[in-house]
């Protein structure tokens, strides 16, 4: 498991807990983000906390707007920006 | 009336001012040094005095004989000082730190030598007092006051005043510091003026050693005082808060620490002057103040913003066309309030509001929740740009000693916030830091965008 994936998984569950949301189904790469239980405020917090831990915010750094649809795409977006 | 006319009623031999090395009685204040008369000859005089005792003497000496006096803190940056001197129309500077004064204006060096001759006392005039705003939101501006406007809420009961020893933790050039100075003098009390450039510990040591009974500070400064070793020696019968929102936690802590003290929080600003005092020990102010405010001012709440009408203050900045009051004379304070259970509660500054995905968040509201957590000593809330919600709430906290590991505490703080705040109000990021910066006015330093 990459550092990006491990950190995202850990913080995803932590943010869900602190924003009083619950996960709707086990998290897989196919999970549709908007159906995961996380809302836009939760995603904003997740992106800010990932920026703090990984030192990277690909949504701000990226020139073209990108909207990942699934959890797998979200992780891949970070892995691409963080490099191997 | 001039300040000296008021002070003539005080016992001449009673101690008026105690500094770290000097004591002055009321008679000393009534016989000002010769340099004060030299300065007054210039009409409009700027006072840049680092020594608080000298500044107090100069203020007393110049009121009633100078046309105008500008109070400038000696640590004002040179370019800003030059600008303020120009705007004020000052013709000379009375100073004890001549090296800090920009070139191009006559300097009168402070000298304690008494007047050589006793000239006849000229008829007193009404001196205009110019105070600088703090300048936290840009270049400071000058507000014109009179002794009357500055002492509107001053208590002049000398019978009670004489029992007080007021401590001064503010810079006298600032509105709050001037209020303490004038309350001390006009109440016939003794003023204790520590060197406010020194550590808080030594300031409090002087206050305790000299038997300080009355003290005014910002809530931020009070939190520091309550945590300062040695502060337990203070025995106060008057505790005053001002300059920031007095929340339930700090009011409760002060009531607990000083159970017999008169606990007062003041609402004042350089522009609005001293507006009102709340003496029931509760946060906010009674809603009845809007119908009838104490002390002859008028209050209004429009769109959640507090407006103050103080007829004694000129409604425009000195030397500028900038107006800070409406045509009816109401000053828009920029402070947001909300009505709850018969009281208006202060929410925070309108210009500090953070927009989180369309929801407005007052940093002060979040700070007061953080400060109610037992492990949090100080808190500052700000914004972080977010590509998703525009902004997010961030918090910096200073933890009390011996409360546990930062990781455990942060989790506990997150839960504490989640239970008390809306989801968008709760800090997304919480950072533990060793200290938080405080402005020269004793307030939590903020950077406003």
Q: Is B390 helix (H, G, I), strand (E, B) or coil?
A: strand
Domain ranges of chain B: 3-170+180-241+248-267, 353-432
Q: Which residues from chain B sit within 8 angstroms of residue A61, using beta carbons?
A: none
Domain ranges of chain A: 3-82
Q: List the single residue in A41, A49, A60 with the smallest CB-CB distance to B387.
A: A60
Tell me the nearest-neighbour CA distance from A78 into chain B, angstroms: 15
Q: List the single residue in B385, B387, B423 with the smallest CB-CB distance to A20.
A: B423
Task: Indicate the pairing of strand B376-386 with strand B390-399.
Answer: antiparallel
Instruction: Name the DSSP class of B113.
Output: P
List pLDDT tens digits, range B306-331.
999 987 788 888 988 888 888 888 99
Q: Which CATH homologous superfamily contains domain B353-432? A: ANL, C-terminal domain (3.30.300.30)
pLDDT class of A58 with cuts at 50, 70, 90: very high
Query: What local confidence, expressed as pLDDT, does residue A16 receive?
Result: 86
Which string of DSSP letters, residue by residue, matches B340-389? ETTEEEEEEEGGG-EEETTEEE-HHHHHHHHHTSTTEEEEEEEEEEETTT
At residue B379, φ and ψ (nearest 5 deg) are: -145, 140
Residue B449: pLDDT over 60: no
Contact call for residues B72 and B47 (beta carbons, < 8 A): yes
Own/partner contacts of B337-341, CB < 8 Å, gap of 24 or more, are: B337/B284, B337/B301, B337/B304, B337/B305, B337/B306, B338/B304, B339/B287, B339/B301, B340/B284
Give residues with Cβ within 8 angstroms of B72, minimum separation 6: B46, B47, B48, B81, B84, B85, B132, B173
List pLDDT tens digits, range B129-182.
999 987 655 678 999 999 999 998 888 888 889 999 999 999 999 999 999 999
Alpha-carbon distances of B107 from B35, B47, B90, B100, rounded to whole Å = 11, 10, 11, 11
Please give the residue that has the higher pLDDT: either B212 or B155.
Answer: B212
What is the average pLDDT score of chain B?
Answer: 91
Q: What gap in Å lies between CA B114 and CA B32, rounded to an integer?
A: 7
Q: Which residues from chain B sit within 8 angstroms of residue A47, using beta carbons?
A: 386-388
Q: Does domain B3-170+180-241+248-267 have CATH number 3.20.20.70?
A: no
Cβ–Cβ gap A44/B357 under 8 Å: yes
Q: Which residues pair with B174 in a beta bridge?
A: none
Alpha carbons within 13 A on the beta-carbon side of B205? 8
**Residue of B406, B417, B428 for testing the chain A interface, max A β-carbons within 10 Å:** B428
Please state which CATH class domain A3-82 belongs to: mainly alpha
Cβ–Cβ gap B388/A44 under 8 Å: yes
Query: Nearest CA to B28 among B195, B212, B190, B216?
Result: B190
In chain A, whose CA is at the least distance from the CA of B410?
A18
Q: Which residues from chain B sit within 8 angstroms of residue A20, using beta carbons?
A: 418, 423
């Amino acid at each position: 498991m990459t550092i990006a994936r491990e950190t995202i998984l850990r913080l995803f569950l932590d943010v869900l807990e602190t924003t009083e949301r619950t996960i709707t189904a086990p998290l897989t790469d196919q999970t549709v983000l908007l159906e995961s239980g996380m809302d836009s405020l939760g995603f904003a917090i997740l992106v800010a906390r990932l920026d703090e831990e990984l030192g990277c915010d690909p949504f701000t750094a990226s020139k073209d707007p990108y909207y990942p649809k699934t959890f797998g795409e979200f992780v891949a977006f970070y892995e691409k920006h963080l490099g191997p | 009336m001039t300040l000296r006319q008021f002070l003539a009623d005080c016992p001449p031999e009673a101690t008026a001012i105690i500094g770290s090395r000097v004591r002055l009685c009321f008679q000393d204040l009534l016989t000002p040094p010769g340099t004060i008369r030299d300065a007054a000859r210039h009409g409009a005089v700027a006072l840049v005095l680092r020594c608080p005792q000298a500044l107090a003497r100069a203020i007393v000496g110049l009121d009633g004989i100078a046309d105008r006096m500008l109070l400038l803190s000696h640590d004002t940056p040179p370019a800003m000082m030059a600008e303020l001197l120009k705007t004020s129309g000052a013709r000379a500077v009375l100073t004890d730190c001549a090296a800090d004064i920009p070139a191009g204006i006559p300097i009168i060096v402070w000298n304690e030598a008494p007047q050589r001759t006793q000239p006849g006392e000229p008829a007193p005039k009404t001196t205009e007092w110019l105070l600088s705003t703090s300048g936290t939101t840009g270049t400071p501006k000058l507000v014109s006051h009179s002794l009357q406007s500055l002492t509107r809420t001053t208590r002049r009961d000398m019978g009670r005043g004489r029992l007080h020893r007021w401590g001064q933790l503010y810079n006298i050039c600032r509105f709050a510091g001037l209020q303490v100075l004038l309350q001390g003098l006009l109440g016939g009390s003794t003023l204790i003026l520590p060197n406010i450039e020194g550590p808080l510990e030594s300031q409090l040591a002087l206050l305790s050693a000299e038997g300080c009974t009355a003290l005014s500070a910002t809530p931020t400064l009070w939190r520091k005082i309550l945590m300062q070793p040695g502060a337990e020696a203070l025995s106060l019968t008057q505790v005053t808060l001002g300059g920031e929102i007095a929340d339930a936690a700090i009011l409760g802590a002060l009531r607990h620490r000083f159970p017999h003290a008169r606990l007062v929080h003041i609402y004042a600003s350089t522009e609005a002057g001293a507006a009102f005092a709340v003496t029931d020990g509760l946060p906010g102010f009674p809603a009845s103040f809007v119908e009838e405010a104490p002390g002859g001012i008028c209050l209004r709440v429009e769109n959640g913003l507090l407006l103050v009408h103080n007829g004694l203050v000129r409604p425009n900045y000195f030397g500028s066309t900038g107006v800070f009051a409406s045509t009816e004379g109401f000053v828009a304070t920029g402070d947001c309030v909300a009505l709850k259970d018969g009281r208006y509660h202060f929410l925070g500054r309108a210009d500090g509001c953070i927009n989180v995905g369309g929801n407005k968040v007052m940093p002060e509201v979040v700070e007061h929740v953080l400060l109610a957590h037992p492990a949090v000593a100080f808190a500052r809330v700000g914004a972080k740009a977010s590509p998703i919600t525009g902004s997010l709430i961030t918090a910096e906290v200073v933890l009390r000693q011996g409360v546990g590991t930062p990781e455990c505490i942060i989790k506990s703080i997150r839960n504490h916030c989640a239970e008390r705040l809306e989801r968008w109000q709760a800090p997304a990021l919480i950072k533990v830091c060793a200290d938080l910066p405080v402005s020269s006015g004793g307030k939590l330093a903020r950077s406003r965008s």
